[in-house]
Amino acid sequence: MLDIRFVRENADAVKAAMINRNAEVDVDALLALDSRRRAIVAEAEVLKAERNKISKSIGLMIKEGKDPESIKAEVREMGDKISAFDEDLRKIDAQLREGLLYIPNMPSATTPVGKDENDNPVIRFWGEKKTFDFEPAMHWDLGASLKLFDLERGAKIAGSGFPLFTGRGAKLERGLIQFMLDLHTEENGYTEIAPPFMCNDVAMTGTGQLPKFAEDMYAVPLDGLYPIPTAEVPVTNMYGNEILDQELPICLTAYTPCFRREAGSAGKDTRGLLRVHQFDKVEMVKFTTPETSAEEHEKLTLDAEKVLQKLGLHYRVIELCTGDLGFSAAKCYDIELWAPAQDKWLEVSSCSNFHDYQARRANIRYRNEDKKTTFVHTINGSGVALPRLVIAIMENNQNADGSIDLPEALWPYMGGLQKLA
């Protein structure tokens, strides 16, 4: 969330940023609450100071054998007033926090201003489009004929959007996960984390899923838990309410399944593995100082790209403009894979710098060079999400006979298997 003091001192900039984001936020209402809050705090604290003084003198009187009854009544009255102030304050604090939790992050100064996804600039391409001397098949047809997954049976036991992988398809999932984790831990310098796959509402609020996006998540109300929509939630919040004494940056990677209700996208991309309710993903998360976060964000994006380069897949990197930027992000690159049968770019990674937005919500701090406690910057990105990666591998590497060549980097992870036939 934003710092209320920042909002107070930069009200116009905040309002402008919200317009660029297409977000409707009543900044003035929040500032009115804030000034009421400070007025009440000031008044209440004067009373409290006085009460503390008199209470102390009552203690002394008792020790000296004097009768404090007359003063007690007076202080009791004071206490009632203080209680009333505290009650008001509790309400205002809650309203203020709630209001702040619904304000999206300020876009970075380097984030391009734009209205929607059509204004997202392409930053770079890698590789090139593959050409075929036959009509490339869709991944759902390839997957069915090669028996890599069985989406009907997945739908039978859980519902559509819950893929069920079989045989070599299941092994490919496992192999890809291990390939990516090995790459990030052995070459890119990340430490592997195996976190809980469910989180509570505090964690979900810390990274920004709650309170605004509750309907995007599955929930287990009986236990107050949510199956995670991304490893970002447990891995970022593992340092919640802490002052980190480790050297920054901290670079972590984690494999987790991800659960998303995809509310609001019903009927879109419903076929095959394009958009599913449960998928596997390897995530990278960094905790950095404000000074190095921009640089670490660029490096993390390159770390995600390395996965695709090793697999020999054509991709492009785009930068999200202010109108398309995610709620908590200040700056974000999307990496998109080319899928020839789909004839589309498929998003497989979203690499975001959140600045101190999540750190403030989750209360994650470190001591800077002056020993002053400071909010860290958090960065994360997919490295990468599996279903669309699998689609791209299948569609790009297919042969006329319906077989699929596996990228060489995967051979060791597939027990030497080089081709799905």
Partner RNA sequence: GGAGAGGUGUCUGAGUGGUUUAAAGAGCACGCUUGGAAAGCGUGUGUGCGCGAGAGUGUACCGGGGGUUCGAAUCCCCCCCUCUCCGCCA
Residue 283 counted as an annotated binding residue: yes
- Exactly one of 29, 243, 263, 421 binds RNA (CB under 7 A); that residue is 243
Measured distance CA(380)–CA(50) in Å, rounded: 49
Query: Taking a C-beta distance cutoff of 8 angstroms, is the pair 350, 381 a contact?
Result: yes
Angle at which helices 293-310 and 167-186 pack, to 10 degrees?
140
Mapped onto helix, strand or coil, the DSSP state of residue 347 is strand
Nearer to RNA, 13 or 243 (CB): 243
Applying the rule CB under 7 A, the residues between 309 and 368 that interact with RNA are: 365
Which residue reads 């994650």 in tokens?
364
Partners of 61 in beta bridges: none
Measured in degrees and rounded to the nearest 5, phi and psi for residue 88 equal -55, -45
Q: Whole-number minimum distance, CB 45 to RNA, in Å?
A: 4
Applying the rule CB under 7 A, the residues between 258 and 297 that interact with RNA are: none
Judge if the upstream peptide bond of residue 202 is cis by omega within 30 degrees of 0. Answer: no
What are the C-alpha distances in Å from 262 to residues 221, 270, 308? 19, 11, 26
Query: Taking a C-beta distance cutoff of 8 angstroms, is the pair 161, 274 a contact?
Result: no
Token pair of 283, please? 């995530």
Mapped onto helix, strand or coil, the DSSP state of residue 367 is strand
Residue 278 counted as an annotated binding residue: yes
Applying the rule CB under 7 A, the residues between 29 and 68 that interact with RNA are: 38, 41-42, 45-46, 48-49, 51-56, 58-59, 62-63, 68
Does 97 sit near RNA (CB under 7 A)? no
Q: How many residues bind RNA (CB under 7 A)?
A: 29
Nearer to RNA, 81 or 124 (CB): 81
Contact segment (CB under 7 A) with RNA among 73-81, 165-173, 251-259, 289-297 equals 73-81
Q: Whole-number minimum distance, CB 127 to RNA, in Å?
A: 43
Nearest to 88 by CA among 35, 47, 36: 36
Task: Give me the 186-225 binding string for RNA, x by CB under 7 A, dash otherwise.
Answer: ----------------------------------------
- Exactly one of 13, 29, 66, 72 binds RNA (CB under 7 A); that residue is 72
Residue 187 counted as an annotated binding residue: no
Measured distance CA(288)–CA(132) in Å, rounded: 45
Does 75 sit near RNA (CB under 7 A)? yes
- Exactly one of 66, 76, 115, 129 binds RNA (CB under 7 A); that residue is 76
Mapped onto helix, strand or coil, the DSSP state of residue 133 is coil
Binding site for RNA (CB under 7 A): 4-5, 38, 41-42, 45-46, 48-49, 51-56, 58-59, 62-63, 68, 72, 75-76, 79, 90, 243, 365, 372-373
Query: Which amino acids are annotated as binding site for L-serine, given as ranges?
Result: 230-232, 260, 283, 380, 382
